[in-house]
Every structure is written in structure tokens, then in C-alpha cells.
């Protein structure tokens, strides 16, 4: 961590506009010297962490600060004599990281670990000492952060470091919270680094850490990191954006007046709400300027409305849309459908009478806390009543009885997002660092998540996937490497190809071949979006080069139905002496709704009204004839059966048909393609009402996954 430390004052003086509004950035150099030189009374916290204590008490009024004092004393004494590259005492770094987390509302255990996060890596302090003094939970987190930082893999350092970081984060999201705060402070103090090193660190921050901050919901860290990266990687565009913001500062801002109008409207409606003007950060202004061109005064900020209850959010929305002109395309409801990173809010926009358009965010105060701090605001996900009592006891340890010896032991984290669980699954099978790195970046680029339901009733009942995922992704998410044998899927009850994209709320039934030698085809990679699917498919294709060629067999030839019906069966046309034929393309049977058309030779062909040929006949101007069914019940129909290839399948299907008392007029079996076999049967039924039961009986034959009308 110390390798990225430089001068914080140089950064703050060069970029004063990046300071957080409402709180002056602390002079950490002065605090660090005070920590080294000033005496500390045993009955109060050292002056150097007084600001940390103040910020912590603002979120946790009843917090026991004695453990923070002990952690600070150990950190200061162990880092004494160590200096950052800027020449300031090293203790300023863990102090700054801890203050960032305290302002976000992190609980005491996280702050304690943050103060100590460099001690095991950079000093003589051991994990056993941390465990003995502060308990297993703090030890667990410190060890997780240490394992992220102390590994050096040469050219593969970044990929392997982030692989370890993911594992540590999966075991405890507080490890990632500390890592993000650590990177933010290092980005704030990056000024004296060589330009090439600044660019390298900024690119890694942009590609991995900012998306991770977004996915963990820590917007306060994400937005500042975005601005710092923007200033380093795009200095010209940054300066242009800064000039736009500076020019706007000298003009009249319409948003305060609009905010006051909103306050009046809500006050008259009896809704207790806090209406704030929320300035956009640099990257947001840059994006808006690229999207809209010339910016207006209201484009430099948004209105933030905070209320007490969820119902009040919708009450505010109703008043805004009633009293102002809403911009319908800007409305989004993230309360009813939260984002994958826990984010909840209502987004809308309205136009004022003088032509300004104000964007509005409506949320409860609790939603606001989570939107700003994400998983940091959720506290200790592993806390129990016993652990809380132990932490509160004088001299007690902060944490539960988690073993520190193995910080990567799997623990159940109720706050772990689904995307993080997926990353933990596939990172184990990534064949090399380069593959891991490229796939990780592709996964983090996904900004939307969907949920699909399993039709087989298995557990878990739902599968979380990134937006744009296909049935292939669902197969590997559900079955792992067994999905190599997947040959098809039903989506919402309808048979579809594996390459079909899924939508939020779809019900998916995946069809697996029983042949263990079956495998994916190379074109699956074009439709696989999740890392798990892509890595598994690539590994199989690499291990089975001959099998890959075999699975890319040409598409099956169009089915030729044998025994197409030439007679009219039970159909009667309202045309005397006309020959009636039932169309082989749709095989109508009683009581299907049908339509008849006169074709060459004066014959009448009967189709189901849903048949595509009906529209074609009408477009060609063919004469339509009314058709009805006779009272007799027997009929003839052609059915298609899709199945996995296996011995005796044809005999079993024929036996099932015979048990229903149905006569087989003709049958055709196509050659297997990718372990799938298609059968066609032309059948004579004694009673048309028995057709649904017949189709169910055929579907019940082992290996058959679909039966449909021709």
C-alpha cells in the first residue's frame, strides 16, 4: 500500500473542487505529526483520531471507542519511524482510510481493522498479536486485507492480486470496503508519482475497483474515484469540464428556486420531506455534456428529496407529476425493482414554466444511507447477539468466534450479492491470469442483472444472471460442467434454442442429453456472456478438439412428413361436390378453428386459422370457403416428437401410442443430430378429444422432451 502513497496536500491544492462539500478535508500531515510528538492521556482518545471518533459517533452514538484507541496506539507505535514517499509519517495513511470509512458509517470492527490493515504487512506485528488483542473478527479482516496486498506475481501481479481480493471479499465484504477506502486515499495522494505509474494505477482503478464499488453500492467512493481517474487519464476533457463548472458557478443557478417551489408543493400536500440540491460530480457533468451538447443551468445538478417512509416516495412522485409537467421517459422505479447493488430510489424529471428541466431523485433516508455507503452501511453481516455482547463488554473482543487461521474459509454472508457469488465460483476455474483478467473486466462491465426461475422446482428456485444472458448462461449457472450436454431449453413453456436471450422473470427448463460424450459447439462462445460459461466452454473445446468439430454438424434438413393426408377426414366444405383435403402443414383436427381455400383443380384445402399458409392464401387472392366438422369423432393427425437418442426409443413410443388405442398410419425417424432425434407420426385417432392425452403419454416416455402438432 505504501508504494502508492504521495503528498495529499499537493492533490488537494491542485484540485480544490474535488473536496467533499460540507466537510473540510483534514490536514493529515499535521495530525500525523501530532500523533508522533504529542502526549496522549490514557483516559481519552489521542487527538489524531479525534476526528475519526467524531465521525463514528455521528453514525453510532453508543459505540465503544476504547477498542479504537487501543488499535490506534498499536498502529502508531508499530509504524513509528516509517514515512510515506511524500515524507509524512506513515500513520497518516491508516488514519485517512479509517476516517473515510467512519464518514460512511462503518461499524467499529471495520474501523479497528482499518487502523491495523497495514501492520501485519509492513511491521513486526503478527496476526497472533492482533487476535489476542482485538479478537478473531478483526484478525480475520486484517488477514484478508494482508493477503490481498502482499502477493507479488511479476507481470501477473494485478490479475492475481485481484483474484485474491475477490476471494477475500467473498468471505467478508468488509475486506473490500477497506481496500476501496485504501485506494481512494492513494488516488487522492497520487501527485508525486511518475506519470506512467499514475496512469497504470488509474487504469486498474477504472477497470476493476470503480465497477466493484458500483456493485457494492458504495457510491460515495465510486464517484470520487471516477473524478480522480478522469483527471489523470483524460486531463484535457477534465480541464474542459472544470471550466464548464467554474463558468456555471458565476451564473444564476435555477435549481434552488425550483427546489423551493417543490418544498411549497410538498408542504401544502402535508408530506414531510427534505429537498436538497445535489451538484453533479465531474464525470457526471462530462457525460451530460456529451449527451446534450450545450448545458443549461439545471443540468449541473439534481434535486434530492428525502422522506421517512416508502409510501411517501410515491406520494412525492404523485405531487410532482400533478403540479409540474413530467418527462415520462425519465421515470424509473428502483424501489419496486431494486438494482443489483441494493440501490433503491425513484427517478423522474419535470419541466418548469420557464423551460428548465429538473431531474429528481426521491428516496427514504435509509435508502439514501445505503445508496451512499452500500455494503458499508449494512454493518457486520456475521454479528450475533453473543458476539455483540462480547464486543460491548469491557476488555472484550470485537467479533465472533470465526477462526483466523484460515481467512478464506467459506462463511455464509447474507449481504453477499449474487454477482459476487458467481465471481467466486468461476475464478477457481480460470485457466490463467490473462483469462481471469479479461473475463473479470467483461463481467464488471455488465451493469444490469436479471432473475430467471427454474421450471423443475429445484433449489435454488431462481438463477441470477447479467443482463443479455442466454439459455447457455443459465445452463452453466445451474448445472456447471454438466451443461456441456445441454441440447435445448423451454422458456416460459415454449421450446427454444440455447442461444435465445433471457428476460427478467422468464421461467427456464433446460434439456440435458444423457450421452456423457456430448459437448458444446464452438459457436456457443458467441452467445455466452457469463465468465463461468465462457471459461467452461473454452476449456472443453481445448480438451476436445475432435469433439468440437463433430458438434458443429450442419443443420438438420427440413422434416419431410410421410403419409400426408390426401382426404378430408371429418371436414366438410360449403361447396357442393368439391374435394376436401386437410393440409399437411398444420394437420387440423376437430375441434380446431379452420379455414378452407380453393386451390388448383377445384379442391378445397383446409388449414387451421393460425397456420401461416392462411395469410399467404389470402394475400394471393385465393377463394375462401366456409368449412365445418362432421359429427363423427375420428380424425387423423401428424405429431412431431423431439427426444434424446437412446436404444429402444422408437419401440417405447409406438407402445405408448398403442396403449392409447391410436393407429399408426406412418412413422419417420430422422438421423440423430447433436444427440437429438426427431420423429414424425401420422396417427388415426378414434376420438379427437383424446389428442391431449395421447400427447401427454408420448411426453412421458423417457428421453422425450417435446411433442407437438406438425
Residue 480 DSSP symbol: G
Residues labelled catalytic: 121-122
Task: Identify the bridge partners of residue 609 per DSSP, sorted by sequence position.
Answer: none
HSE-up of residue 267 (Cα within 13 Å, Cβ side) = 8
Distances (CA, A) of 83 to 2, 141, 517: 9, 24, 61
- Contact criterion met (CB below 8 Å) for 82 and 121: no
* Cα first-last separation, the chain: 67
Q: Alpha-carbon distance 479 to 485, whole Å?
A: 10
The predicted pLDDT at position 265 comes to 94
The radius of gyration computed from the CA coordinates of the chain, to the nearest angstrom, equals 34
Whether 210 and 184 have beta carbons less than 8 Å apart is answered as no
Report pLDDT for 353. Answer: 83
Cell digits of residue 65 = 471507542
Dist CA 136 CA 142 (whole Å): 10
Cβ-proximal residues to 301 (8 Å cutoff; 6+ apart), any chain: 253, 255, 277, 278, 279, 280
Helix (H) or strand (E) holding 581: strand 580-582
| 531 cis-preceded (ω within 30 degrees of 0) | no
- Residue 694, C-beta contacts closer than 8 angstroms, at least 6 positions apart: 639, 657, 660, 662, 683, 685
The edge-to-edge listing of strands for the beta sheet with 449-454 is: 462-466, 449-454, 507-512, 486-491, 494-496
Residue 315's pLDDT is what? 94
Q: What is the DSSP letter of 363?
A: E
CA distance 391 to 395: 8
| Helices 195-204 and 173-188: angle between axes, nearest 10 degrees | 150
- All three cell numbers of 368: 439514501
Helix (H, G, I), strand (E, B), or coil: what is residue 247? helix
Can you tell me the distance from the alpha carbon of 402 to that of 139, in angstroms, rounded to the nearest whole number? 9
From start to end of 328-418, where are the E strands? 332-333, 346-351, 357-364
Residue matched to cell numbers 435445448: 488
Please classify residue 640 by burial: count the beta carbons closer than 10 Å to its beta carbon, then call 0-12 exposed, 13-18 middle and 19+ buried: middle
For the packed helices 50-59 and 92-104, what is the interaxial angle rounded to 10 degrees? 20
Distance CA 368, CA 305 (A): 10
The pLDDT value given to residue 394: 40
Give the pLDDT means over successive 10-residue stretches in the chain (710 positions): 40 39 45 45 59 89 89 89 82 91 91 90 87 89 75 48 63 83 89 85 85 86 92 92 85 89 94 93 88 81 93 94 90 83 89 88 93 80 46 41 40 51 64 66 69 78 82 87 82 81 87 70 84 83 67 39 46 76 76 80 81 82 79 74 78 84 82 76 80 85 79
> Who contacts 262 (Cβ-Cβ below 8 Å, separation ≥6)?
275, 303, 305, 320, 360
Task: Answer for the pair 159, 439: CB distance below 8 angstroms, yes or no.
Answer: no
Write out the DSSP string of 589-650: -TT--EEEEE-GGG-EEEEETTSHHHHHHHHTTPPEE-EEE-S---EEEEEEEEEE--TTHH
Dist. CA 472–CA 502, nearest whole Å: 10
β-bridge pairing 604-608 and 580-582: parallel
Alpha carbon 702 to chain centroid, angstroms? 37
Name which of 201, 220, 227 is nearest 18 in CA terms: 227
Measured distance CA(150)–CA(169) in Å, rounded: 16
Query: From CA 476, how far away is CA 474, in angstroms rounded?
Result: 6
At 345 the pLDDT is 94
Hey, is 135 helix, strand or coil?
coil
Closest-CA residue to 362 (of 404, 304, 414, 308): 304
- Cell numbers of 290, please? 456529451
User: Are the C-beta atoms of residues 575 and 627 closer than 8 Å to each other?
Assistant: no
Are 143 and 172 in contact by the 8 Å Cβ rule? The answer is: no
Amino acid at each position: 500500500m505504501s508504494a502508492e502513497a504521495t503528498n495529499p496536500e499537493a492533490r488537494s491544492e491542485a484540485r480544490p473542487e474535488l473536496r467533499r462539500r460540507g466537510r473540510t478535508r483534514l490536514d493529515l500531515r499535521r495530525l500525523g505529526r501530532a500523533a508522533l510528538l504529542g502526549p496522549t492521556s490514557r483516559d481519552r482518545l489521542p487527538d489524531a483520531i479525534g476526528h475519526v471518533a467524531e465521525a463514528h459517533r455521528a453514525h453510532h452514538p453508543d459505540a465503544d471507542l476504547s477498542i479504537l484507541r487501543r488499535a490506534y496506539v498499536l498502529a502508531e507505535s508499530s509504524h513509528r519511524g516509517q514515512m510515506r514517499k511524500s515524507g509524512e509519517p506513515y500513520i497518516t495513511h491508516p488514519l485517512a482510510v479509517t476516517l473515510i470509512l467512519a464518514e460512511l458509517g462503518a461499524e467499529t470492527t471495520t474501523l479497528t481493522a482499518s487502523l491495523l490493515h497495514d501492520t501485519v504487512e509492513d511491521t513486526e506485528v503478527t496476526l497472533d498479536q492482533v487476535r489476542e488483542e482485538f479478537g478473531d473478527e478483526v484478525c480475520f479482516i486484517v488477514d484478508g486485507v494482508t493477503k490481498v496486498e502482499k502477493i507479488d506475481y511479476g507481470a501477473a501481479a494485478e490479475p492475481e492480486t485481484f483474484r485474491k481480493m475477490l476471494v477475500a471479499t467473498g468471505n467478508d465484504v468488509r475486506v473490500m470496503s477497506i481496500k476501496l477506502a485504501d485506494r481512494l486515499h492513494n488516488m487522492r495522494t497520487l501527485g508525486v508519482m511518475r506519470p506512467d505509474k499514475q496512469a497504470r494505477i488509474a487504469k486498474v482503478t477504472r477497470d476493476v475497483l470503480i465497477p466493484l464499488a458500483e456493485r457494492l453500492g458504495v457510491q460515495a467512493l465510486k464517484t470520487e474515484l471516477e473524478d480522480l481517474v478522469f483527471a489523470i487519464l483524460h486531463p484535457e476533457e477534465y480541464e474542459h469540464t472544470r471550466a464548464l463548472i467554474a463558468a456555471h458557478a458565476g451564473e444564476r443557478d435555477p435549481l434552488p428556486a425550483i427546489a423551493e417551489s417543490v418544498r411549497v408543493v410538498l408542504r401544502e400536500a402535508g408530506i414531510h420531506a427534505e429537498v436538497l440540491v445535489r451538484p453533479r460530480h465531474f464525470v457526471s457533468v462530462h457525460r451530460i455534456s456529451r449527451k446534450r451538447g450545450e448545458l443549461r443551468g439545471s443540468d449541473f445538478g439534481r434535486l434530492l428529496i428525502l422522506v421517512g417512509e416508502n409510501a411517501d416516495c410515491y406520494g412525492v412522485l404523485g405531487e410532482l407529476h400533478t403540479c409540474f409537467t413530467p418527462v415520462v421517459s425519465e421515470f424509473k422505479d428502483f424501489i419496486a425493482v431494486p438494482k443489483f447493488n441494493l440501490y433503491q430510489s425513484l427517478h423522474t424529471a419535470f419541466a418548469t414554466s420557464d423551460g428548465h428541466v429538473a431531474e429528481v431523485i426521491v428516496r427514504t433516508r435509509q435508502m439514501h444511507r445505503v445508496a451512499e455507503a452500500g455494503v458499508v452501511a449494512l454493518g457486520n453481516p456475521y454479528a450475533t447477539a453473543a458476539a455483540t455482547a462480547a464486543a460491548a463488554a469491557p476488555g472484550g473482543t470485537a467479533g465472533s468466534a470465526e477462526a483466523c487461521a484460515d481467512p478464506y474459509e467459506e462463511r455464509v454472508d447474507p449481504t453477499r450479492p449474487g454477482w459476487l457469488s458467481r465471481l467466486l465460483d468461476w475464478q477457481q476455474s480460470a485457466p490463467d491470469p490473462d483469462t481471469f483478467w479479461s473475463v473479470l473486466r467483461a463481467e464488471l462491465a455488465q451493469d444490469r442483472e436479471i432473475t430467471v426461475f427454474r421450471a423443475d422446482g429445484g433449489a435454488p428456485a431462481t438463477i441470477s444472471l447479467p443482463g443479455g444472458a442466454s439459455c447457455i448462461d443459465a445452463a452453466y449457472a445451474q448445472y456447471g460442467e454438466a451443461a456441456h450436454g445441454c441440447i435445448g431449453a423451454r422458456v416460459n413453456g415454449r421450446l427454444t434454442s440455447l442461444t435465445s436471450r433471457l428476460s427478467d422473470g422468464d421461467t427456464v427448463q433446460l434439456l440435458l442429453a444423457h450421452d456423457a460424450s456430448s459437448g458444446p459447439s464452438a459457436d456457443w462462445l458467441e452467445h455466452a456472456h457469463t465468465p463461468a460459461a465462457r471459461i467452461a466452454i473454452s476449456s472443453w473445446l481445448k480438451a476436445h478438439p475432435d469433439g468440437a468439430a463433430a458438434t458443429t454438424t450442419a443443420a438438420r434438413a427440413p422434416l419431410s412428413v410421410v403419409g400426408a393426408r390426401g382426404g378430408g377426414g371429418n371436414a366438410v366444405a360449403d361447396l357442393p361436390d368439391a374435394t376436401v383435403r386437410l393440409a399437411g402443414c398444420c394437420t387440423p383436427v376437430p375441434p380446431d378453428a379452420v379455414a378452407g381455400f380453393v386451390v388448383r383443380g377445384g379442391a378445397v384445402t383446409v388449414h387451421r386459422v393460425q397456420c401461416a399458409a392462411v395469410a399467404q392464401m389470402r394475400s394471393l387472392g385465393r377463394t375462401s370457403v366456409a368449412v365445418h366438422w362432421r359429427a363423427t369423432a375420428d380424425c387423423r393427425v401428424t405429431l412431431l416428437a423431439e427426444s434424446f437418442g437412446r436404444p429402444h426409443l422408437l419401440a417405447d413410443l409406438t407402445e405408448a401410442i398403442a396403449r392409447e388405442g391410436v393407429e399408426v398410419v406412418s412413422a419417420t425417424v430422422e438421423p440423430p443430430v447433436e444427440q437429438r432425434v426427431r420423429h414424425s407420426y401420422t396417427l388415426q385417432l378414434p376420438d379427437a378429444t383424446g389428442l391431449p392425452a395421447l400427447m401427454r403419454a408420448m411426453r412421458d416416455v423417457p428421453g422425450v422432451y417435446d411433442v407437438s402438432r406438425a
